[in-house]
């Protein structure tokens, strides 16, 4: 086909039609997603709506091609008219490049505008995909729900049918060289068809009891958006370095090669046939074997599909698994399937739902595990939302008084961390409890109810202290009893293997009060131990040893008791004297301070006794001397007194004026007390 302006006009109108259909399909998915709250449909609608930008760029690009063809036709007509009239065509020849405005704009669009828009479109698509992936990756384990199954199937089938038919129509047009760039639009139409088809498959599988596709679909669409964005960016980078021939129409970077192959699968077969011919060196596609395979390929594929489908009648339960058979979503086996090989109706009539029965599954009955990097203390922020349970006050909280009727209703609060671990023993019973996504919450509710009942009868000291092991064993027994009573007494099919109070603390604003009590108890215990150590040291210091000191104390207590009770006559009785003598002997025999004090006291006693006795003897001698010579005794005492008084005094000799002083000193006699009445010696006479 000759590429004239009418050819590009048809391509531009087709692109505008594709734009309208793409917007209609995208808005239809958005409206359904908002009404049904379908997260996967909302992510798919973003992918479909982003495809409308590709149709818009193609419409503008083909319209510019139309303008360029009209401009070229006008330039050719002017040139032919000038040549027919015999005039010089230099004006049209030399200034042709300046007059071709539409051609310049078309070249600028292919070289600058379309690559730039492709890059912006890819970044926007990748950003939307990343946003939806981050927002939806945590929702994989939740039930997608099928309340609007009819609308989901209707909207999905409509989008899939419209997108696929229009993509095939546009892909057929793209085989024409002038319309080759319509491949990008066909790719976006087939992307919408894939979104609709995936929704239909996911909802049908969920209706038949296989919800895996629908649970992951709202994550698959964002991943597809990011992969498509990466492909467009790669096309942009390769387009920068790709060599081009003169007159070649560039392929936009936003034209996805993957989606183009899906929109035109016949080209895949042509490419494979060409590759085979090239590798073998002859026309393989014309051989009888290739023709035979091509003729019976559909039948072989159909037989293979049937064989694979029939193989779904066999199901294997692994040694670590249990399972049940579901027929159109309803359970048909009363007991759980044990490990082995089972025969059933093919999928999707019968489906074997299996679960790992040997895995120990954890649950948190109260608070989550603290999310802190430093030490976990009562006064720290544990980084999780804490739940408080009521407990009975401890005895010491009543300050020693007995509780009255009003004190019975007093409660205290504690925050606990109680992990529970259970295993599945009978999956058929376990599956009948509730929906799969609510089983853990159901078990958590039962465990929390029993936990509340157990803790409400325990005291704060037992929960925070030594009673945790006993409380944990009691709690595990009550939960197992409660689970055994479910399903009409048949049990829940699960068994609790471990539950424990691994962490318990009071509210943060009261933690310091608890710590102060503990600190005081520890301080009191330290003081008592220090007092005992001081007492032991003092006993050893006083009596030499602890045992001897206790024996001495016992004797002293017996002496005091004997004196108090009056069992004997007077303190000087023989029994008291005997006890005192025994105590004295023990003290004297010890090597402590008491023995030293006793020995010193005895020594002081004898010194005092002998001193007083000496004074008594001296008094008798002085009395005899007085009686013998009273005057001599008095004189002697008089002079002794003068000597004592004047021993440290100075003597001044003073005379009146005009008098002559004459002093004679006899320095030989220093003590005249005993020689008072002896004749004085002459000066210079020998002693």
Res 399: pLDDT: 37
Res 147: pLDDT: 65
Contact 181, 102 (CB under 8 A): no
Angstrom CA distances, 636 to 25, 317, 631, stand at 149, 135, 8
Which residues have a Cβ under 8 Å from the Cβ of 535 and sit 6 or more positions away? none
SS3 350: strand
d(CA 545, CA 536): 9
d(CA 625, CA 640): 15
What's the longest Cα–Cα distance across the chain?
A: 195
Number of helices (H), then strands (E), belonging to the chain: the values are: 21, 11
pLDDT digits (tens, 9 = 90+) for 378-399: 666 666 677 777 888 876 444 3
Contact 96, 75 (CB under 8 A): yes
d(CA 219, CA 158): 22
Helix (H) or strand (E) holding 637: helix 630-646
pLDDT at 605 > cutoff 80 = yes
pLDDT at 188 > cutoff 80 = yes
Of the CA atoms within 13 Å of residue 675, those in its CB half-sphere come to 9
Least confident of 111-120, 286-295, 471-480: 286-295
Is this model's pTM higher than 0.85 or not?
no
Q: Which domains does the chain have, with CATH numbers?
A: 5-84+97-264 (no CATH), 312-356 (no CATH), 361-400+407-506 (3.30.479.30), 520-591 (no CATH), 602-645+671-677 (no CATH)
d(CA 38, CA 50): 19
Res 683: pLDDT: 43
* Number of other CB atoms surrounding residue 485 within 10 Å: 12
Helix (H) or strand (E) holding 154: helix 149-173
Of the CA atoms within 13 Å of residue 648, those in its CB half-sphere come to 0
Q: Spell out where 392-527 has E strands.
A: 412-417, 419-424, 494-499, 503-505
d(CA 685, CA 519): 95
pLDDT at 427 > cutoff 70 = yes
Res 379: pLDDT: 61
Strand partners, 424: 494
Label the pairing between strands 314-317 and 340-343. Answer: antiparallel
Label the pairing between strands 350-356 and 330-331. Answer: unpaired
d(CA 511, CA 107): 76
Which residues have a Cβ under 8 Å from the Cβ of 400 and sit 6 or more positions away? none
Q: Where are the alpha helices (DSSP H) in 544-592?
A: 546-565, 574-589
DSSP string, 608-634: HHHHHHHHHHHHHHHHHHHHH-HHHHH
Give Cα 254 distance to the centre of its chain. Answer: 43
Which residues have a Cβ under 8 Å from the Cβ of 30 and sit 6 or more positions away? 42, 45, 49
Of the CA atoms within 13 Å of residue 219, those in its CB half-sphere come to 14
pLDDT digits (tens, 9 = 90+) for 220-254: 889 999 999 998 888 888 877 777 666 667 888 88
Res 21: pLDDT: 92
Res 20: pLDDT: 93
pLDDT digits (tens, 9 = 90+) for 429-488: 887 777 777 888 888 888 888 888 888 888 877 887 778 888 888 888 888 888 888 877
SS3 343: strand
Report residue 629 as tokens: 């010579």
Least confident of 175-184, 299-308, 531-540: 531-540
Per mean pLDDT, which of 119-128, 241-250, 677-686 is the most reliable?
A: 119-128
Which residues have a Cβ under 8 Å from the Cβ of 167 and sit 6 or more positions away? 186, 187, 189, 190, 193, 263
Question: Quick one: which of 421, 443, 438 has its CA closest to 491?
Answer: 443
d(CA 147, CA 498): 38
pLDDT at 676 > cutoff 60 = no
Please give the mean pLDDT across all residues of the chain: 78
Res 138: pLDDT: 72
Q: Where are the alpha helices (DSSP H) in 329-426?
A: none
SS3 130: helix
d(CA 421, CA 361): 5
Of the CA atoms within 13 Å of residue 646, those in its CB half-sphere come to 9
pLDDT digits (tens, 9 = 90+) for 505-525: 777 667 677 777 777 878 888
Which residues have a Cβ under 8 Å from the Cβ of 230 and sit 6 or more positions away? 122, 126
């Amino acid at each position: 086909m000759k590429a004239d302006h009418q050819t590009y006009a048809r391509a531009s109108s087709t692109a505008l039609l594709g734009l309208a259909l793409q917007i209609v399909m995208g808005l239809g998915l958005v409206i359904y997603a908002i009404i049904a709250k379908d997260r996967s449909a909302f992510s798919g609608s973003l992918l479909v709506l982003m495809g409308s930008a590709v149709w818009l760029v193609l419409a503008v690009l083909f319209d510019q091609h139309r303008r360029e063809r009209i401009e070229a036709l006008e330039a050719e007509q002017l040139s032919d008219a000038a040549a027919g009239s015999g005039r010089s065509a230099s004006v049209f020849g030399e200034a042709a490049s300046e007059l071709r405005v539409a051609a310049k704009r078309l070249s600028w669009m292919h070289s600058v505008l379309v690559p730039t828009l492709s890059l912006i479109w890819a970044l926007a698509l990748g950003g939307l995909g990343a946003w939806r992936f981050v927002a939806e990756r945590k929702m994989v384990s939740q039930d997608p729900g099928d309340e609007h199954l009819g609308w989901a199937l209707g909207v999905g089938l409509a989008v899939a049918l419209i997108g696929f038919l229009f993509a095939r129509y546009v892909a057929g047009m793209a085989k024409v060289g002038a319309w080759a760039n319509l491949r990008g639009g066909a790719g976006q139409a087939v992307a919408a068809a894939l979104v609709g088809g995936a929704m239909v498959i996911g909802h049908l599988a969920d209706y038949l009891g296989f919800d895996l596709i629908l649970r992951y679909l709202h994550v698959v669409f964002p991943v597809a958006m990011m992969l498509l964005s990466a492909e467009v960016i790669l096309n942009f980078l390769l387009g920068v370095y790709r060599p081009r021939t003169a007159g070649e129409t560039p392929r936009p970077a936003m034209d996805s090669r993957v989606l183009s192959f899906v929109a035109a699968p016949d080209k895949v077969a042509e490419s494979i046939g060409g590759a085979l011919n090239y590798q073998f060196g002859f026309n393989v596609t014309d051989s009888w074997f290739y023709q035979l395979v091509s003729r019976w390929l559909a039948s072989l594929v159909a037989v293979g599909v049937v064989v694979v489908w029939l193989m779904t009648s066999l199901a294997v339960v692994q040694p670590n698994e249990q399972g049940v058979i579901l027929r159109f979503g309803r359970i048909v086996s009363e007991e759980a399937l044990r490990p082995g090989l089972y025969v059933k109706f093919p999928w999707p009539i019968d489906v074997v739902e299996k679960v790992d029965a040997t895995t120990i599954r954890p649950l948190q009955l109260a608070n989550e595990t603290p999310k802190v990097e430093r030490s976990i203390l009562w006064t720290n922020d544990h980084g999780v939302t804490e739940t408080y349970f009521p407990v009975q006050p401890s005895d010491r909280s009543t300050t020693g008084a007995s509780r009255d009727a009003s004190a019975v209703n007093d409660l205290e609060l504690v925050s606990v961390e109680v992990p529970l671990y259970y295993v599945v023993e009978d999956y058929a019973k376990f599956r009948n409890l509730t929906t799969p996504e609510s089983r853990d919450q159901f078990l958590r509710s039962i465990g929390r109810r029993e936990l509340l009942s157990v803790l409400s009868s325990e005291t704060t000291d037992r929960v925070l202290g030594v009673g945790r092991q006993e409380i944990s064993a009691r709690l595990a027994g009550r939960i197992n009893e409660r689970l055994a009573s479910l399903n009409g007494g048949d049990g829940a099919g699960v068994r609790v293997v471990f539950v424990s109070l691994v962490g318990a603390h009071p509210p943060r604003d009261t933690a310091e009060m608890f710590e102060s009590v503990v600190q005081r108890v520890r301080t009191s215990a330290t003081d008592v131990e220090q007092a005992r150590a001081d007492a032991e040291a003092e006993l050893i210091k006083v009596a030499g040893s602890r045992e001897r000191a206790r024996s001495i104390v016992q004797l002293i207590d017996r002496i005091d008791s004997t004196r108090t009770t009056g069992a004997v006559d007077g303190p000087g009785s023989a029994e008291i004297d005997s006890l005192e003598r025994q105590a004295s002997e023990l003290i004297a025999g010890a090597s402590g301070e008491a023995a030293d004090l006793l020995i010193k006291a005895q020594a002081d006693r004898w010194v005092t006794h002998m001193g007083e006795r000496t004074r008594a003897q001296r008094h008798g001698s002085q009395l005899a001397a007085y009686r013998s010579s009273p005057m001599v005794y008095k004189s002697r005492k008089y002079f002794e007194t003068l000597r004592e008084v004047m021993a440290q005094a100075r003597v001044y000799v003073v005379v009146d004026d005009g008098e002559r002083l004459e002093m004679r000193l006899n320095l030989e006699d220093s003590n005249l007390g005993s020689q008072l009445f002896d004749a004085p010696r002459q000066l210079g006479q020998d002693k």
